[in-house]
């Protein structure tokens, strides 16, 4: 397997497909998944001549199940270790959900020339948890319930999430895709319980407001209006306002996991933005 070793000895697994001299795209997965969640997009962009790269976040998938580092600063540092190892220049970074937070933190701090464009898909910024400064956020109790469910029976929790709100399969008339549910469970159970538990705090309580303001590359912010995991009104429109060069693309009625349920809609839109 291809891996890069970080400064604290963590082994980060990654995939790297396509010509080494092609435009690189780096994909950042959501919680509690792995690089495998981007299979559709990696094949799509590979077929369009790109070099496609995706890694498993520490504690997820095939990367080291570490005791520490399950917060956004370390996640971003791990990405920097990977991009340094591969010496990526002008790369496009695409992040889904928690991966969108990882992209935001990394791009805001990246070395000059490393990043060309970014895409945030159903992403967690600016900040998810409700507070005096973020009255439209979700109450902390919602995330406490996730932690309780994970600790009590992680395997069942990882069936309930994709069967219900993640892909919108709980909506009337939804076409349920059992393969997506099974693959979500498979990816989740490959990771570490401690990493997933601590990552809930990382994706829900990290404040990305200042990161968004620092980013000076073009960013596509793509979000479904029926996102039951990262509600649309308190995420995408707010991020787009804080970014210097943003394009907001809203998808009426699409769910949080739209990159998997509707790749036929999302992929061409991302391709058009990257080519523009």
256 is catalytic: yes
Q: With bands split at pLDDT 50, 70 and 90, how would you rate the model's confidence at 192?
A: very high
- From 93, 204, 256, 260, the catalytic residue: 256
- Residue 10: which residues within 8 A CB-CB, separation 6 or more? 58, 63, 64, 66, 69, 78
Indicate the pairing of strand 219-224 with strand 115-121.
parallel
How far apart, in whole angstroms, are the C-alpha atoms of residue 246 and residue 268? Answer: 18
Architecture field, domain 3-275: 3-Layer(aba) Sandwich (3.40)
pLDDT of residue 8: 97
Query: What is d(CA 57, CA 78) in angstroms, rounded to the nearest whole number?
Result: 8
pLDDT of amino acid 146: 98
Nearest to 184 by CA among 33, 38, 54: 33
Residue 1's pLDDT is 81
Q: Tell me the average pLDDT across 162-186.
A: 98
Pairing label, strands 115-121, 24-28: unpaired
User: Token digits for 104?
Assistant: 């935001």
Answer for the pair 167, 257: CB distance below 8 angstroms, yes or no: yes
CB 146 within 8 A of CB 200: yes
Q: How far apart are CA 101 and CA 95, in angstroms?
A: 7
Catalytic residue among 97, 204, 239, 260: 97
pLDDT of residue 258: 98
Q: In angstroms, rounded to a whole number, what is the distance separating the alpha carbons of residues 201 and 206? A: 7
Among the listed residues 13, 6, 2, the one whose alpha carbon sits nearest the alpha carbon of residue 63: 13
Q: What is the pLDDT of residues 92-132, one digit of tens each?
A: 999 999 999 999 999 999 999 999 999 999 999 999 999 99
The CB-side HSE value for 108 (13 A sphere, CA atoms) comes to: 21
Which residue is catalytic, options 37, 211, 227, 234? 227
Q: How far apart are CA 22 and CA 37, in angstroms?
A: 22
Mean pLDDT of 158-165: 98
Q: What is the pLDDT of residues 227-276, one digit of tens each?
A: 999 999 999 999 999 999 999 999 999 999 999 999 999 999 999 999 99
Cα 3 versus chain centre, distance: 20
29 is catalytic: no
The predicted pLDDT at position 211 comes to: 98
97: annotated active-site residue: yes
Report the share of the chain in percent with pLDDT over 90: 100
Average pLDDT taken over every residue of the chain:
98
User: In the structure encoding, which two tokens stand for residue 18, read together?
Assistant: 């396509």
């Amino acid at each position: 397997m291809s891996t890069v070793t970080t400064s604290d000895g963590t082994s980060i697994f990654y995939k790297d497909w396509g010509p080494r001299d092609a435009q690189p795209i780096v994909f950042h997965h959501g919680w509690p998944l792995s690089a495998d969640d981007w299979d559709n997009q990696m094949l799509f962009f590979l077929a369009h001549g790109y070099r496609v790269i995706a890694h498993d976040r520490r504690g997820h998938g095939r990367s080291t199940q570490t005791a520490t580092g399950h917060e956004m600063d370390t996640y971003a540092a791990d990405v920097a270790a990977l991009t340094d190892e591969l010496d990526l220049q002008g790369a496009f970074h695409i992040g889904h959900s928690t991966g969108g937070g990882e992209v935001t933190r990394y791009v805001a701090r990246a070395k000059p020339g490393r990043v060309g464009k970014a895409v945030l898909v159903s992403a967690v910024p600016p900040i998810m948890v409700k507070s005096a400064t973020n009255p439209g956020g979700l109450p902390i109790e919602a995330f406490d319930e996730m932690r309780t469910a994970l600790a009590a029976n992680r395997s069942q929790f990882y069936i309930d999430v994709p069967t219900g709100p993640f892909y919108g399969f709980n909506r009337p008339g939804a076409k349920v895709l059992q393969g997506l549910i099974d693959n979500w469970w498979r990816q989740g159970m490959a990771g570490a319980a401690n990493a997933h538990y601590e990552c809930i705090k990382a994706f829900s309580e990290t404040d990305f407001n200042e990161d968004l303001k620092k980013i000076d590359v073009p960013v596509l912010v793509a979000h479904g209006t029926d996102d039951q995991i990262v509600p649309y009104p308190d995420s995408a429109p707010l991020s787009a306002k804080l970014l210097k060069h943003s394009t907001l693309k809203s998808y009426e009625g699409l769910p949080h996991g739209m990159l998997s349920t509707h790749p036929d809609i999302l992929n061409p839109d991302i391709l058009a933005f990257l080519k523009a």
